[in-house]
Amino acid sequence: MMARILIVEDEEKLRRVLSLQLESAGYEVETAGSAEAALRMSDRANLVLTDLRLPAMDGLSLLQAIQRQNARLPVVVMTAFGTVEIAVEAMKKGAADFLPKPFSMDHLMAVVRKALEVQSLREENTRLKEELGHRYRFENIIGSGPKMQEILASVLRVGPMRTTVLLCGESGVGKDLIARAIHHHSPRSAHPFVKINCTAIPENLMESELFGYEKGAFTGAATSKPGKFEQAEGGTVFLDEIGDVPTAVQVKLLRILQEREFERLGSNKTRQIDVRVIAATNVDLRRALEEGNFREDLYYRLNVFPLTIPPLRERAEDIPVLAENFLRKFARELGSQVEGISEAASQKLMAYHWPGNVRELENAIERSLLYATGTQLQPEDIRLDHAPRRAVPGSAGNGNGSAIVNDFLPEGVSLEEHEQQLIREALRRAAGNKSQAARLLGLSRNALRYRLSQMGLE
């Protein structure tokens, strides 16, 4: 049975045009000329398509009223008045998407399909939680604990959809593997999976790398070249470290997500593209929003289906299974006689805090095999990198929780001055390379650029 869509529009002609378009696509359609009438009909709808400017009660008020009645009912807002900021405000208040007027019928259908896909995901969420007792297994992904079971269940559910996914988590937790699992469990699995490391591409080359260029677009462009998005046609683009994308490129990414179209560098020809986008970040994008380094509308386009991958220290129950898996892998590669891990060695692994997450565990097992002399790994075989944990304010003190100033900041130096000294030293060590300096400081490239501009060094 096709979904039922409720159109709320006070202009009768447009209401009729939208109704005919959706009915021709097989949807059941109901229409209302006011918000008050829509509220009486919304309980029969699977999706509401409403104008923001309505008589009496406006579209934002209607959105909030519908959410009070049924928080799961998706609402797509249309607006020809005001600015995009109004539409972003609607998405903050729970709108599934927005359509800036005038819009094409193809754009309308794409937005409706996406909103219904997300609704389907939410409706089945309860059923999936009941199935979390089952241990999902994926190639190269191991997780028996409840947190990873929930992640893998979400992968199975979102995989078949076109929905944009935002993967969040610390470096080394396996965001790349989760992205590949989503692609593998999708109808696009026979098509390319193209990974783009946004940190590794120089800022001045990023636009041409992502979107391609035409012959003569810049000095040295002897031939035309397709970009990463064109290479992924029909498949999946994985944007790793999305927080490092420059603002100018963010505008083009937003257009691809919203319109499914772009132009190559040096070309006026608009190209259509059919790709699914999965993005990943190990930084707080909301902080980037506050600093003005990340577009708010792009954030909401990416954050349709967010998945936070837990760090290894929060799922210690998975460490023994992961360690055994890595041991078998490296024992074959190294020709080692080691066949297992002793209980004491396993306890040592579980007691460690793993700042580098699964990637660090994998490296530790490979290194430990080189030291092992028996058929089992023993505690003395396991050589861990005991890097100091990140300092926590107030953790060093005089016994009552107050920090000792001389152990926290250099004497006579303010927090702002100390931060600037660290930034200058990182730039010195990186020979002026901002990307490398940002990695030394644990910042995104855009966050470092923001701080440099505040220091007057940009």
pTM of this prediction?
Answer: 0.60
Domains of the chain plus CATH, in order, are 4-123 (3.40.50.2300), 139-310 (3.40.50.300), 313-381 (1.10.8.60), 411-455 (1.10.10)
Quote the tokens at residue 367.
């290194």
| Residue 268, phi then psi, degrees to nearest 5 | -105, 0
pLDDT digits (tens, 9 = 90+) for 300-325: 999 999 999 999 988 888 899 899 98
Report which of 3, 202, 17 is spatially closest to residue 112, judged by C-alpha positions: 3
What is the spatial distance between Cα 413 and Cα 419, in angstroms, rounded to a whole number? 10
Query: Pick from 165, 275, 284: which is nearest to 210 by CA?
Result: 275
pLDDT of residue 211: 93
Q: Which residues of the chain have pLDDT under 50?
A: 129-137, 388-407
Give whole-number Cα distances, 69 to 91, 115, 124, in Å: 18, 18, 19
- List of residues 6+ apart from 393 with CB closer than 8 A: 403, 408
pLDDT at 386: 59
Q: Identify the pLDDT of residue 83.
A: 63
Tokens representing 446? 């855009």
The Cβ of residue 76 has, within 10 Å, a number of other Cβ atoms equal to 22
Query: What was the pLDDT predicted at 128?
Result: 54
Cα distance between residue 244 and residue 286, in whole Å: 13
DSSP letter string, 124-192:
THHHHHHTTTS---BTTB---SHHHHHHHHHHHHHTTS---EEEE--TTS-HHHHHHHHHHTSTTTTS-
pLDDT tens per residue, range 336-350: 889 899 999 999 999
Whose tokens are 């636009």? That residue is: 207
pLDDT at position 401: 39
Compute φ and ψ for 340, nearest 5 degrees: -165, -175
293 HSE (CA, 13 A, CB side): 23
